[in-house]
Amino acid sequence: MGGYWQHLQAVSRLSLAAGLILVASPPAVLACGYHDDVSMARGMMNWVYPDALHVLGAISTAVAERRLPPSVNNTAPDLFGSRYRRMAEALGRFGEALGESADRMPALSFSMVLLEPMLWTRYEAAGGRLRTQVHATGPKAGDLVLVSGEAVIGEIAAGRLATGEAIERGLIRLYGSESQKAAFVGAFRSAGSARPGTTEPTAMSGHAAQSVAAREAAMPLQSVSITARPTRQSTAFEADGALACGPGHH
Amino acid sequence: MIRTSRHGARLAALLASAVALPAFAQDTGTLDQKKAEEALRRPPAYSPYVGRDFPTRPFFGDTHLHTSFSMDAGAFGARLGPRDAYRFARGDEVTASTGQPVKLSRPLDFLVVADHSDNMGFFPDLFAGKPEVLADPTGRQWYDMIQSGKGADAAIAIIVAFSHATFPKDLMYSPGTPAYHSAWKATIDAAEEFNDPGRFTAFIGYEWTSNTNGNNLHRNVIFRDNADKASQVEPFTVYPPYGSDNPVELWKWMQAYETKTGGNVLAIAHNGNLSNGLMFPVVEAFGKELDREYVETRAKWERLYETTQTKGTGEAHPFLSPNDEFAAFEIWDKGNLDGSVAKKKEMLEFEYARSALKNGLKLEKELGTNPYKFGLIGSSDAHNGLAAMEEDNFFGKTVPQEPSPRRMMEAFVDNTKTGVKIMDWEVSASGYAAVWARENTRESLWDAMERKETYATTGPRMIVRFFGGWDFEARDAEDRLPANIGYSKGVPMGGDLRRAPGGKVPTFLVAALKDPIGANLDRYQIVKGWLDKDGNVHEKVYDVAWSGDRQPGSDGKIPPVGNTVDEANATWTNTIGDPELIAVWKDPEFDPTQLAFYYGRVIEIPTPRWTAYDGQRFGVKPLPGTAMTVAERAYTSPIWYTP
């Protein structure tokens, strides 16, 4: 794996713990000693959050249908952490998009894990806004937990996919109480809805774009009104994400 | 008059083969006095199939499939249990652990759920809150954490407990504990529930997982029996103090099982390509010199060998067989199972089927018994409950390798200390076991495995016959029912030829039919290995039947069949190759004083590999060097010649 992944492995609690089992356990405990630790941490998610990995299947389906671009296709080392930085920025923009889409910000803190790198991010509701902490150690007790993938968040952050549609398509799964889930969906379902000038998915081919247009006509999930707004850097991210996990630290 | 003549001729032919009898006693194609008299009494029938008493179709299945009951499969996210696995294998549509619907192109005929015996069933029990788990304070704590939303912390605690050897003793799923008993019972119950004699066979089985220092010496243990016997024991494990990593101890367990219950078990050695030279020893094993007892015991219990599976194919290696242009097929030769030790060329001889078959002849000469007189099968070793080994329907080896736009890009083994790295794209969509049995029942299939009347396929379901005898002649290949002739004049795959009658040489009747929904066939080859008078082993590959009108080149080899694969669109056409191949072949270099073996290898025309389907479906570009086409194949069990 490239530097991005290695970087995440080194600091992820789950990853670290999972790594130990491969190194230190007796041979019979885990008979098949292949696989990286991130894979194992990801696998455990399917038990801890039942069927969490169904998100991966939903992403695969969406990519096959050309609804989503394939996520990182590059296994070269991420020597300068640029892939990580891009993802962290997307996570910050995702938080912003949520905040901007809500008519009234619910007092709802939640954590989200991106399955591919097993990267946790915590979004804390405070003062009517969401504070983003990329690279959290995991969810806090009682948090609503979101499970998703890189491409999904990238598309929402870019204004090409609505959060509500992502949930309906299984691209984001929610784990928590029914009231937490209802509050999240109610407040944020329109986040990421296409904005003028951002509807053309640059990462997709022309054919893919046509597929998306055809699909939107057939399944008008994005029924929420859209307000154009500029993309800007999240101050919360700057405070908690970049300082904590910027390339200079790894 | 005519009737008598036909009757007489038929019996004469049958008797001739029985009396001439170089063909060893098999329960197929064997004629004894009683059967001969019975045949004489019966009037000939219009139907040419009346009285036929040999296997008429191969049954396809998987002898090596893991579910969520396997510790590693569960840890990597497998949620499908044994019942799901059987359901899928028999043709039902199921939902994979990544949420994707999946169904086989055609049902399989049988399945062995072979979960790792160590810690069998732990993950499903923990997360289901089974009483056995909750009775332990730590188990209770973990379960409560999960239920209260601290699942991620619970996961960490579980993994750390394993890795630091602080896992509560009472939670260890070891033989003799109520929890283990429950897991084994659940395994058996699932097999019993889905076993449907005549339609679908669900075997009871498990995988014994010797893996010391990362060297793969696994064996799959398959019961002929039903729950009444299998439930009298618990699987043999590796983890001490109940188990051992030495196969000799497994064989003792197998003997003990048969002695105790009167039942039957056999073991199938895992593909040895990740054993780093330990799967087929010729001098010593586990610090003990090979002796008569070792070779006899191994030959008794290890009747079959898994020559192809998701972790590569282990029939032959190009380093060992430089003159075999088809040897470099789905090779994994970079290291052992966890990549902790890089492969050295001198290891290869002791981990590939063909070299083991050859060295077995040597050991037979030295010790009186050939320990490597095994038949060949393929199976999946998938760890997600899905025996989906079709190139266009490949659901991977583990849950992380279920279809996704990323699976071609990631590493399967990546040991940075040794530099051993195997990419996910190298995982093979392979294989299945084909078993020539009379009926689809545990007993009939198991008996066919025991007599090695089996062949391996890398996924397609081509039908392959392979008979050896002394009297096959060219016109036998013109018959539309070659098996009638094959069984009456010779022995099937897995059989023996002995003591060549004066002046005669082995002849082989070979036939192959393409998979009905698959690709045409390129060629049928016979691989011969033999031991010369100086104690040296040799091998040679003969093209015996091939498609089209190709002629052997100056090197004696048939030119390549061609390639119609459109990699970008993952398509091909059956405009090359033939749908069936049949021939009679006579060994041109036979020495009646030399031990030898012969097996068949059938090769399809090139078709798109699963990577090509992924590339097309997900719109992703493969990494440089990714194999995008495959020449699928089948390997028959050998027929051995003993002077």
B contact residues 144-163, partner A, Cβ 8 Å cutoff? 146, 148-156, 158-160, 162-163
CB-based contact, B168 to chain A, within 8 Å = no
Q: Among residues B169, B65, B83, which one has the least CA distance to residue B124?
A: B83
Partners of residue B412 in chain A, C-beta under 8 Å? 34-35
CB A133 within 8 A of CB A122: yes
CB burial class (10 A; 0-12, 13-18, 19+) of residue B12? Answer: exposed
Choose the weakest-confidence range: A42-51, B27-36, B90-99, B112-121.
B27-36
Q: What does the pLDDT read at residue B39?
A: 65
Closest Cα of chain B to A209: distance in Å? 13
Compare CB distances from A31 to B209, B398, B405 and report the shortest one's residue.
Answer: B209
pLDDT for B292 beyond 50: yes
Choose the weakest-confidence range: B268-277, B407-416, B623-632.
B407-416
CA atoms within 13 A on the CB side of B44: 13
CA atoms within 13 A on the CB side of B401: 33
CA angle B527, B532, B533 (to 5 degrees): 165
* Proportion of chain B above pLDDT 70, given as a percent: 93
Q: What does the pLDDT read at residue A241?
A: 35
Partners of residue B174 in chain A, C-beta under 8 Å? none
CA distance B400 to A53: 9
Domain A3-249 class, CATH top level: alpha beta
CA distance B333 to B342: 9
Compare CB distances from B100 to A34, A44, A57 and report the shortest one's residue.
Answer: A57
Choose the weakest-confidence range: A183-197, B83-97, B273-287, B327-341.
A183-197
Each residue's pLDDT tens digit, A77-99: 677 788 889 999 999 999 999 99
Partners of residue A145 in chain B, C-beta under 8 Å? 149
Choose the weakest-confidence range: B254-258, B320-324, B555-559.
B555-559
Partners of residue B212 in chain A, C-beta under 8 Å? 27
Closest Cα of chain A to B413: distance in Å? 5
Residue B306 CA to chain centroid, in angstroms?
4
Each residue's pLDDT tens digit, B583-605: 999 999 999 999 999 999 999 99
CB-based contact, B172 to chain A, within 8 Å = no
Closest Cα of chain B to A42: distance in Å? 7
Q: What does the pLDDT read at residue B512?
A: 98
User: Is the bond into B241 cis (omega within 30 degrees of 0)?
Assistant: yes
Neighbouring-strand partners of residue B203: B112
CB B380 within 8 A of CB B65: yes
Q: Is B160 helix (H, G, I), strand (E, B) or coil?
A: helix
**Taking CB atoms and an 8 Å cut-off, how many pairs form between chains A and B?**
211
CB B192 within 8 A of CB B319: no
Each residue's pLDDT tens digit, B115-161: 999 989 988 998 888 888 888 899 899 888 877 767 767 777 776 67
pLDDT for A214 beyond 70: no
Q: What does the pLDDT read at residue B429?
A: 98
Beta carbons of B149 and A66 less than 8 Å apart: no
Q: Is B154 helix (H, G, I), strand (E, B) or coil?
A: helix
CA distance B375 to B309: 15
Q: What does the pLDDT read at residue A138?
A: 86
Compare CB distances from B100 to A14, A21, A60 and report the shortest one's residue.
Answer: A60
- Helix runs in B129-201, H state only: 131-134, 137-147, 151-163, 178-194
CA distance B169 to B545: 60
Residue-averaged pLDDT of chain A? 70
Which of A9, A15, A34, A39 to substitute to test the interface with B, most B CBs within 10 Å? A34
pLDDT for A204 beyond 80: no
Q: What does the pLDDT read at residue B172?
A: 81
pLDDT for A238 beyond 50: no
Structure confidence at residue A201 as a pLDDT band (50, 70, 90): very low
ipTM of predicted assembly, 2 dp: 0.89
Partners of residue B76 in chain A, C-beta under 8 Å? 35, 39-40, 42-43
CA-to-CA dists, residue A97 to A154, A189, A207, angstroms: 11, 10, 28
Segment B101-119 mean pLDDT: 97
- Cβ-based neighbours of B461, under 8 Å, separated by 6 or more: B58, B60, B106, B432, B434, B515, B516, B518
Compare CB distances from B239 to A28, A63, A75 and report the shortest one's residue.
Answer: A28
**pTM greater than 0.80:** yes
Tokens 């002046």 — which residue? B503
Which of A56, A59, A75, A111 to substitute to test the interface with B, most B CBs within 10 Å? A56
CB-based contact, B77 to chain A, within 8 Å = yes
Segment B552-568 mean pLDDT: 95
The encoded tokens of residue A142 equal: 């009682």
Beta carbons of A35 and B76 less than 8 Å apart: yes
Beta carbons of A205 and B406 less than 8 Å apart: no
Q: What does the pLDDT read at residue A194?
A: 60
Structure confidence at residue B298 as a pLDDT band (50, 70, 90): very high
Closest Cα of chain B to A30: distance in Å? 5
- Cβ-based neighbours of B179, under 8 Å, separated by 6 or more: B121, B122, B125, B130, B132, B133, B171, B173
Q: What does the pLDDT read at residue B31?
A: 60
CA distance A50 to A43: 11
Each residue's pLDDT tens digit, B64-82: 999 999 988 998 899 999 9
Beta carbons of B404 and A44 less than 8 Å apart: no
Which of B116, B163, B616 to substitute to test the interface with A, most A CBs within 10 Å? B163
Beta carbons of A39 and B146 less than 8 Å apart: no
CB-based contact, B338 to chain A, within 8 Å = yes
Q: Among residues B432, B444, B433, which one has the least CA distance to residue B198?
A: B444
pLDDT for B474 beyond 90: yes
CB-based contact, B100 to chain A, within 8 Å = yes
Task: For chain A, give every domain's residue range.
Answer: 3-249
B474: number of Cβ within 10 Å = 11
CA distance B202 to B197: 9
CB burial class (10 A; 0-12, 13-18, 19+) of residue B95? Answer: middle
CA distance B529 to B357: 8
CB A116 within 8 A of CB A206: no
Beta carbons of B155 and A46 less than 8 Å apart: no
CA-to-CA dists, residue B413 to A24, B16, B260, B339, angstroms: 17, 56, 41, 6
Which of A32, A51, A113, A143 to substitute to test the interface with B, most B CBs within 10 Å? A32
The encoded tokens of residue A3 equal: 């530097």
Closest residue of A to B76, CA-based? Answer: A43
Q: Which of A107-121, A131-145, B90-104, B120-134 has the highest mean pLDDT?
A: B90-104
Closest residue of A to B98, CA-based? Answer: A54
Q: What does the pLDDT read at residue B132?
A: 83
Beta carbons of B211 and A31 less than 8 Å apart: yes
Partners of residue A66 in chain B, C-beta under 8 Å? 619
Partners of residue B611 in chain A, C-beta under 8 Å? none
Q: Helix and strand tally (H, E) in chain B?
A: 16, 29
Q: What does the pLDDT read at residue B30?
A: 56
Structure confidence at residue B448 as a pLDDT band (50, 70, 90): very high
Segment B35-39 mean pLDDT: 69
Q: What does the pLDDT read at residue A38?
A: 75
Q: Which of A98-107, B23-32, B240-249 has the highest mean pLDDT?
A: B240-249
CB-based contact, B582 to chain A, within 8 Å = no
Structure confidence at residue A9 as a pLDDT band (50, 70, 90): very low
Compare CB distances from B77 to A20, A42, A63 and report the shortest one's residue.
Answer: A42
Structure confidence at residue A74 as a pLDDT band (50, 70, 90): low
CB-based contact, B25 to chain A, within 8 Å = no
B contact residues 371-430, partner A, Cβ 8 Å cutoff? 383, 398-400, 402-406, 409-414, 422
CA atoms within 13 A on the CB side of B282: 19
CB-based contact, B245 to chain A, within 8 Å = yes
Partners of residue B339 in chain A, C-beta under 8 Å? 34
Each residue's pLDDT tens digit, A156-194: 999 999 999 999 999 999 999 999 999 999 999 999 986
Beta carbons of A43 and B77 less than 8 Å apart: yes
Buried b (16+ CB within 10 A) or exposed e, B506-515: bbbbbbbbbb
What DSSP element (H or E) covers B325? none
Structure confidence at residue A39 as a pLDDT band (50, 70, 90): confident
CB burial class (10 A; 0-12, 13-18, 19+) of residue B635? Answer: buried
Beta carbons of B400 and A24 less than 8 Å apart: no
Closest Cα of chain A to B153: distance in Å? 8
For β-strands A144-148 and A173-175, DSSP reports them as: antiparallel
Closest Cα of chain B to A65: distance in Å? 8
Structure confidence at residue B191 as a pLDDT band (50, 70, 90): very high
Backbone angles phi, psi at B41, to 5 degrees: -70, -30
Q: Among residues B568, B614, B451, which one has the least CA distance to residue B23?
A: B451
Residue-averaged pLDDT of chain B? 92
Partners of residue B568 in chain A, C-beta under 8 Å? none
CB-based contact, B218 to chain A, within 8 Å = yes
Each residue's pLDDT tens digit, B322-367: 999 999 999 999 999 888 999 999 999 999 999 999 999 999 999 9
Beta carbons of A139 and B149 less than 8 Å apart: yes
Q: What does the pLDDT read at residue B571?
A: 98
pLDDT for A76 beyond 80: no
